[in-house]
Amino acid sequence: TMNPQSPAALAGIKGGEQVEAVAGKPLNQVPMEKRHEFVKNQIAASPGKPVLFKLKLENGQVIDKTITPSAEG
* Confidence grade of residue 17 (pLDDT, cut at 50, 70, 90): confident
Q: Is 58 helix (H, G, I), strand (E, B) or coil?
A: coil
Nearest to 65 by CA among 6, 8, 3: 8
pLDDT of residue 21: 95
| CA atoms of 67 and 60, how far apart (whole Å) | 20
Please determine, for residue 35, whether its predicted confidence score (pLDDT) is greater than 60.
yes
Classified as helix, coil or strand, 2 is coil
pTM of the model: 0.75
